[in-house]
Amino acid sequence: MDTNKPIILVTNDDGITAPGIRNLIEAMEGLGTIVVVAPDSPQSGMGHAITIGKPLRMNKVDIFEGIDAYQCSGTPVDCVKLATNQILHRKPDICVSGINHGLNSSINVIYSGTMSAAMEAAIEGVPSVGFSLADFSFEADFSIAKKVARTIVSKMLQKELAPHTLLNVNVPKVTESDFKGIKFCRQANAKWGESFEHRKDPHGKDYYWMVGNFICKDEGTDTDIFALHGGYASVVPVQFDLTDYTMKEKLTADWGSF
Amino acid sequence: MDTNKPIILVTNDDGITAPGIRNLIEAMEGLGTIVVVAPDSPQSGMGHAITIGKPLRMNKVDIFEGIDAYQCSGTPVDCVKLATNQILHRKPDICVSGINHGLNSSINVIYSGTMSAAMEAAIEGVPSVGFSLADFSFEADFSIAKKVARTIVSKMLQKELAPHTLLNVNVPKVTESDFKGIKFCRQANAKWGESFEHRKDPHGKDYYWMVGNFICKDEGTDTDIFALHGGYASVVPVQFDLTDYTMKEKLTADWGSF
């Protein structure tokens, strides 16, 4: 492994065989020494889950020509922890996660394994970025997303970044001619309105399928959702200090002492 | 179910049979109509994971006298979604999660199923709170944590709260006489320094146990960690807009247009 070049840790949550991660690896070509540590099975919706109480498996796999790649039995966050501690024995210079099959804009940042992997690296002090494309299909066209990923990672490697820098990048499903560029945004205030489809299995027992529909009432023109609708890729800088300082002041004043 | 009183949704991540949730139910006695929807197995470290791609099971169980209780095959977040959509068919008035066996202070908020369940309810516009005790043992003494939970939930039910109010409450392991009270705090800047224990299974294959040690370099006197060390229960108001607005301004200025 050439460690004179920047080390780029690549991971994802769709699993190591997903087209998205292959496209991300291609997008990183020449920018540094690539090391892949990714889940051995799809881990969508795992959020910031970690594996406690059972051990992890990890194996080197030869599926990306000339690139060190490992698959891991755990979650995306586990992969980042294993990469730093068991494979690299040092921090990578940057961690890139994705390209996710499906958007992680707005509130999806908190459910997303893609973003949680990137966040875990950022907590470790590694500038990190998650990429997601507005197309769930395995046959999705990643050409614009690849260009966006290369542009942003190149910038990140050139600039002096705060060690906890973490970017959530989402790319719209548009043709080359309809793609408008890249925009810094805030996370839109939106949520999932779930319903469940209640069924009975062949043995007469109940089960439930979660069926969500995305509800965005945020009409701001500075949100990621607005940018994506306008044909832009959105970049939201993300923090993991979840303290609501405004509410802390308010409650301290309102509630008095206990 | 008496729906004239406030409906208190109780959940957790240690599973419906954990002592912590039973203690939380006892602490809520008389404050409203309690409905329990909790995982049927331990879900520690699940973060904001949701179950996608497989169905959920849910069954009514008779383990808390006089209280409607359901166990669910999914994650803590799944439980909250099922509770609202399939059991209550309305929003509860408050959601309480815990009492977790083990602290969820500082960065643990993002790994914690306890807090993610509460966060899911807050995203739905239900004021919510997660409780955690600094004792992993099943035989932990919950007496102080119960008093803290009752005090805080009583306050929350009395006050006009913003619908997205979300509190992360942690209780130290101290004797009654050493307990100092309850304090509003910010999330301490800390992280887990992981190492892995590398072993071989009886078939000669490698596996890894994650072994973490908590590293807190934040010396602030306004943090949850500081409060807990001083014998206080800590209350951190939590937000789920993860946008780092300061970095958004900085990067927009530094990077120019793309």
Tell me: the pLDDT tens digits for B43-65?
A: 887 878 888 888 999 999 999 99
**What pLDDT is stored for residue A229 in this prediction?**
97
Give residue B174's pLDDT band: very low, low, confident or very high (50, 70, 90): very high
CA distances from A175 to A23, A133, A136, A139, A142 (A): 17, 13, 16, 15, 11
Bond into B99 cis (ω within 30):
yes
**Confidence (pLDDT) at B160:** 86
- Show the tokens assigned to B256: 């120019």
Reported as a pLDDT band with limits 50, 70 and 90, residue B256 is: confident
Task: Indicate if the pLDDT at residue B176 is higher than 80.
Answer: yes
Confidence tier at B177 by pLDDT (50, 70, 90): very high
Contacts of B211 in chain A (CB under 8 A): none
pLDDT in tens, B224-242: 999 999 999 999 999 999 9
Interface subset of A 5-34, CB within 8 angstroms of B: none
Give the model's pLDDT for residue A52: 82
CB pair distance less than 8 Å for A77 and B47? yes
Tens-binned pLDDT, residue by residue, of chain A (258 aa): 776 899 999 999 999 999 999 999 999 999 999 999 999 998 887 878 888 888 999 999 999 999 999 999 999 999 999 999 999 988 999 999 999 999 999 999 999 999 999 999 999 999 999 999 999 998 999 999 999 999 999 999 998 899 899 999 999 999 999 999 999 999 999 999 878 999 999 999 999 999 888 999 999 999 999 999 999 999 999 999 999 999 999 999 999 777
pLDDT of amino acid B119: 97
Q: CB of B237 within 8 A of CB of B183?
A: no
> Which among A113, A127, A114 is positioned nearest to A7, based on CA atoms?
A127
Cβ–Cβ gap A85/B196 under 8 Å:
yes
Taking the Cβ of residue B227 and every Cβ of chain A, the question of whether any pair is shorter than 8 Å is answered with no
Per-residue pLDDT, A192: 92
Higher pLDDT, B149 or A2: B149
Inter-chain touch B258–A107, beta carbons under 8 Å: no
B41 contacts on A by Cβ (under 8 Å): none
Tell me the pTM: 0.94
Question: How is domain A7-188+221-255 classified at the CATH fold level?
Answer: Stationary-phase Survival Protein Sure Homolog; Chain: A, (3.40.1210)
CA distance linking residue A150 with residue A71, whole number of Å: 24
CA A188 from chain centre, in angstroms, equals 17
B7-187+220-255 maps to CATH 3.40.1210.10: yes
A150 vs B: CB within 8 A: no
Contact list, B183 vs chain A (CB under 8 Å): 258
**Calpha distance B188→B108 (Å, rounded):** 10
ipTM higher than the 0.85 cut: yes
Asked if B191 and A252 come within 8 Å (Cβ–Cβ), the reply is no
Cα A172 to the chain's mean position, in Å? Answer: 15
